[in-house]
Structure 1
Amino acid sequence: MTVKIDVKGPIISNDEAWIYEWFEMDATSPRKITEQLTNANGEDIIVSINSPGGYVDDGSEIYTALKNYSGHVETQIVGLAASAASFIATAGDKVVIAPTAQIMIHNASMGNRGDHRSMDKASQMLKTTDRAIVNAYVLKTGKDEQDLLDMMAEETWMGPQEALEHKFVDEIMFMDNTFKATASSAVSAMIPKQIIDNFRKGNINKGNNQGVTKEDLQSSLSNLKAEIINELQLNKTTEPKEPTPKPANKQDLSKLFLSL
């Protein structure tokens, strides 16, 4: 029996997963995938991917779990495999793409503040992250590392035929592999980091200085949920495309991310 596993929505951390669930939004965390792999118990799996990307470290954990899985893994790019989701896609023993789907690869990015030493350190961290990510692409495509780093630096979008030509995929689904896709774009579905932080601090409503638990939020009135969803919609047009992770001059720098 073949088991189907979905990688849908942004790639997020385990401790943020419940927030997305509360909003009934698609998202994928490492725990979600590892639990499904455990339940699959060695059966062949198909991983269906439609994701704009997300946190690098969490994407790496998912990639590693898929590579370590004992059964056969087929990854199917059915919509978008961008950023962190693009290297997750390469974890499959076989990688296929729908004739209407796309892949995007680019450099890692992060928010930062501090003096010139902090900026230098952040720059070095990002370069190291890019060289870690590119290993997944090298393993899949066999292409030269520098060529792939150049593609990442240029933020390269690939339709099905381009992905096949560059060996990111093995096959175009339903086609004779001569299909040529046109360019397109997508919007990140990640909840802005500010919204997540406000949830944890209980500051969604101005003037509220009390902490909020998961149980408190789940019992909140439906109009609060609608209000926050409206705020998220506004963020899509007024906020930068990437959620802002913790600054590089803090000790916890684990939330480097790849996101549209």
Structure 2
Amino acid sequence: MNVLKNGELWLYGTVGLGVTDEEGFTAINVRDALAEIGGQDVTVRINSPGGWADEGITIYNNLRAHPGKVTVLIEGIAASAASIIAMAGHEIVMRTGTYMMVHEPSGLTWGNIQDHAKMIEQLDTINRSMADIYVKQTRRPKAEILRELADETWMDGAQAVQKRYATRVTDARAVQPPAFAWSTYRNTPAAVSASGSRQQARGFQDAMGRIAAVRSAKAERDVRIAAFIRENLIGHENRPDVASLLNSIQEEAPEAYSMAKATGPLSPTNVVKGPSSWDGVVDRVNKANNWFSVHPNAGEK
């Protein structure tokens, strides 16, 4: 795809190939366009529902390395990987009625527990890299950014400026977002999904069909971390080593940290139940294994 038009970069469509049946733009397209521009200032127009995170990060780095000033204009939507690209702008301008969305990356695995665990590590690495990009632009605490990624945060122009993902809003009206498989996202605003639906590519459908397994494994990991915090750290916050460890956990695993600090059980399925005469045994099992999902009727006759 040729993204260079009248000396400007037009990043319309999906980030990367094979997301939908529509052709997307790639890091190679952007690299070639920047090479043709040379060292001049460049305007980057974005109307993209997102796509592949690694492609978005590569495009971001290409734009950051450009010697001229980069002005980003969000003309319809900058969601997911497209919002990463937007962070490369020295100035990030959103038209009235546009949206930006940030969220955690997704991926797929096919295999055993170790395969899924490796994917979780890879996703955590990508997620931290994305968070670092957003932190660099917003100058806000990383823990706040990680929470917004976990929540799949949608913002209009004013909200994006308030959170420092954008620098200002212009009076120019938004263009219509492209048609996309909006059900891929959890919190898509009605005004965005009304732009129309587009079929996902087969490979992308297969990927999304397996993401649930990775999310489930991540949720179990968070329960395990929260259980460790409750069992070993809560009540010892005055110790410097414990305080330092808690700060690190809050930074790198905010969901697990919040889970540990909240009241109530960590999970509706992580408590072993049994007859009252078994209270001592059940208590020891729960303390030893309160991170592990056990059938709620375990031990009952």
- Cα distance in 1 for residues equivalent to 2:38 and 2:210: 37
Percent of aligned positions that are identical: 27
Tell me, what secondary structure is at the counterpart of 2:164? coil
- Runs of 4+ with >2 A deviation: 182-191, 239-245
- Note the alpha carbon deviations across 1:52-79, whole angstroms, 9 max, x for none: 1111221111101100001111001111
Cα shift at 1:190: 7.5
Residue in 2 that maps onto 1:86: 83
Residue in 2 that maps onto 1:5: 9
Question: In proportion to residue count, which structure has more helix?
Answer: 2
Establish whether residue 126 from structure 1 lines up as the match of residue 123 from structure 2. Answer: yes
2:47 is aligned, of 42, 50, 55, to 50
Name stretches of at least 5 consecutive residues in structure 2 with no aligned partner: 1-5, 173-188, 215-301
* TM-score when normalising by structure 1: 0.66
1:149 is aligned, of 146, 151, 154, to 146
Cα shift at 1:163: 0.3
Cα shift at 1:34: 0.8
Establish whether residue 185 from structure 1 lines up as the match of residue 192 from structure 2. Answer: yes
Cα shift at 1:33: 0.6
- Note the alpha carbon deviations across 1:27-48, whole angstroms, 9 max, x for none: 2101111111011111211100
8 Å contact 2:137–2:165 — kept in the other structure? yes
Residue in 2 that maps onto 1:97: 94
Partner AA of 1:194 in structure 2: G
* Backbone CA RMSD of aligned residues: 2.9
8 Å contact 1:10–1:190 — kept in the other structure? no
Establish whether residue 111 from structure 1 lines up as the match of residue 120 from structure 2. Answer: no
Which protein has greater RCO, CA pairs closer than 8 Å, 6+ apart?
1
Structure 1 residues 48 and 60, CA gap change in structure 2 (3 angstroms): same
Cα shift at 1:240: 7.7
Cα shift at 1:174: 2.0
Cα shift at 1:10: 0.8
Structure 1 residues 34 and 49, CA gap change in structure 2 (3 angstroms): same
- Cα distance in 2 for residues equivalent to 1:243 and 1:33: 30
- Cα distance in 2 for residues equivalent to 1:174 and 1:28: 27
Establish whether residue 39 from structure 1 lines up as the match of residue 36 from structure 2. Answer: yes
8 Å contact 1:3–1:45 — kept in the other structure? yes
- Note the alpha carbon deviations across 1:111-147, whole angstroms, 9 max, x for none: 2221111111111111111001111100100010010
- Cα distance in 1 for residues equivalent to 2:192 and 2:169: 20
Partner AA of 2:60 in structure 1: Y
Name stretches of at least 5 consecutive residues in structure 1 with no aligned partner: 176-181, 196-238, 249-260
Aligned pairs (5 A) from 1:14-29: 25-29=22-26
Cα shift at 1:4: 1.1
- Cα distance in 2 for residues equivalent to 1:136 and 1:39: 26
- Cα distance in 2 for residues equivalent to 1:79 and 1:61: 22
- Cα distance in 1 for residues equivalent to 2:197 and 2:128: 24
* TM-score when normalising by structure 2: 0.57
8 Å contact 1:49–1:77 — kept in the other structure? yes
Partner AA of 1:93 in structure 2: H
Tell me, what secondary structure is at the counterpart of 1:53? coil
Structure 1 residues 91 and 81, CA gap change in structure 2 (3 angstroms): same
- Cα distance in 2 for residues equivalent to 1:149 and 1:117: 25
1:159 is aligned, of 156, 161, 176, to 156
